[in-house]
Amino acid sequence: MMPLAESVYWSGLASSLVPYVPGEQPKDRKFIKLNTNENPYPPSPKVLDAIHSAANDTLRLYPEPSSAVLREAVAKRWNINSEQVFCGNGSDEILAFAFAAFFNSNVNDNANAPEPILFPKISYSFYPVYAALWNIPYKTPELGADFTIDHTDYTGSDYSNASNQNSNNQKTGGVILPNPNAPTGRALSIAALKQIAEAQAKYNKVFIIDEAYIAFTNEPGAGSMIPFINDHPNLLVIRTLSKDASLAGLRAGYAVGSTELIEGLCRVRDSFNSYTMDRLAQAAATAAISDTVYYDEINAKVIKTRERTETALQNLGFNVIPSQANFVFAAPPVMAHNATGISAAKLSAALREKGILARHFNKPEIENYLRISMGTDEEMDIFIAACKECLAANALL
């Protein structure tokens, strides 16, 4: 069903929103799905056992509202206090709560308008949706030509690259960054992230790091910022179990930070729906968090597949952005060299005809690139072979 453009029954807010568009979930035929960053491997057997055990007559009862057992598992995993943990239905729900809890909304009186928050111009496309939903002003610093993020754009020392920049005001309303970034896959170092946290702390502003893909990072100097939350009380780290725990179909995630930040999230949640996580999700997520051996093994496979795929695409002439996620961001060789031939959009369509889905973003800065999620080695071999056929059909090989 096609979405309506507008309705007389909608509020002004609903009419003004431009919703996030998720990756295609086809129903008409079976595809090799490399378009939604799902893990190619199944969840831990312990997760499936936990779901089976939890599917009993207790489902007639409301779930434990604070997800206490899951919070304890997260706390044990990261050697922190359970009061520093918040759980929700995937990272997207927690992000929505975080925008409301820590970033100030705009007001009609411009004299009292809050400072804009910052997030990269090329980033997770849900961020501007959340900002619009909560009426939060924002600025989007540019990325480098190679899609690198300059962390000094977020430290208050230089906002010259931010759109609609007011150079006389170096304060911000806070910062949110995905690390690694999406859809580019590039990661900032721990040292750079610490500098951003310290800079934002000067203004008592929150720094949110969205670590959806951090489990696939093997770059020296990069990694999770969870071990440093006690050093930075303004730092909130949000994780999802959709990618690294193979639970995209379940919806579970968590955030860690100071007790002040966690209480802020609880205040928003309990003003919206105090029973966000159901019993099955809590049981499955607890089992997943506890089975680090299984997930370390399958995610190491994903990293090796990513590296092998990057090399294969480079050998075909693609411009491949170095990735630290479970996907690669690559431009077909013709677009990488500004020649005529097959575009990313055309290649995406051709691959779809061959039963392979890759994500194409129709945005000016990245329209020449495809984001390619990692499948199994067998699936990626099929993908590479299909790319060769598409390039050969366009006389590019």
Domain region containing 320: 12-42+294-393
Domain boundary, last residue among 256, 290, 324: 290
User: What's residue 338's pLDDT?
Assistant: 56
Residue 102 three-state SS = helix
The answer to whether residue 2 scores a pLDDT higher than 60 is no
Q: How far apart are CA 307 and CA 194, in angstroms?
A: 28
The tokens describing 283, both together, are 């049981």
Residue 360's DSSP bridge partners are: 370
User: In the chain, which ranges are continuous DSSP H helix?
Assistant: 12-16, 45-54, 68-78, 90-102, 127-133, 190-201, 259-269, 279-290, 292-315, 333-336, 344-353, 377-393
pLDDT of 231-270, one tens digit each? Answer: 999 999 999 999 999 999 999 999 999 999 999 999 999 9
User: What's residue 272's pLDDT?
Assistant: 87
The answer to whether residue 109 scores a pLDDT higher than 60 is no
CB neighbour list of residue 133: distance below 8 Å, 6 or more residues apart: 13, 17, 96, 99
User: What's residue 54's pLDDT?
Assistant: 97
The answer to whether residue 84 scores a pLDDT higher than 70 is yes
pLDDT of 351-386, one tens digit each? Answer: 999 999 999 998 989 999 999 999 999 999 999 999
344 shares a domain with 233: no
Domain boundary, last residue among 259, 290, 321: 290
User: What's residue 336's pLDDT?
Assistant: 60
The proportion of the chain whose per-residue pLDDT surpasses 90, expressed as a percent, equals 80
358 shares a domain with 266: no
The answer to whether residue 161 scores a pLDDT higher than 90 is no
Q: Is residue 187 part of a domain?
A: yes
The answer to whether residue 193 scores a pLDDT higher than 90 is yes
CATH number of the domain encompassing residue 102:
3.40.640.10
267 shares a domain with 313: no
User: What's residue 113's pLDDT?
Assistant: 77
102-106, 256-260, 271-275, 353-357: the lowest-pLDDT one: 271-275
Strands across the sheet containing 235-240 = 85-88, 253-256, 235-240, 207-210, 175-178, 117-118, 138-139
69 shares a domain with 137: yes
Domain count, the chain: 2
Q: Is residue 6 part of a domain?
A: no
Amino acid code (one letter) for 5: A
In which band, very low, low, confident or very high, does the pLDDT at 21 lie, cut at 50, 70 and 90? confident
202 shares a domain with 79: yes
Pick the more confident residue, 102 or 27: 102
If you search the block for the tokens 């750079």, which residue do you land on? 192
Q: Is residue 317 part of a domain?
A: yes
Average pLDDT, the chain: 91
10-24, 58-72, 129-143, 244-258: the lowest-pLDDT one: 10-24
What is the enclosing helix (H) or strand (E) of 164?
Answer: none
The answer to whether residue 3 scores a pLDDT higher than 80 is no
182 shares a domain with 238: yes
170 shares a domain with 314: no
The answer to whether residue 230 scores a pLDDT higher than 80 is yes
320 shares a domain with 221: no
121 shares a domain with 19: no
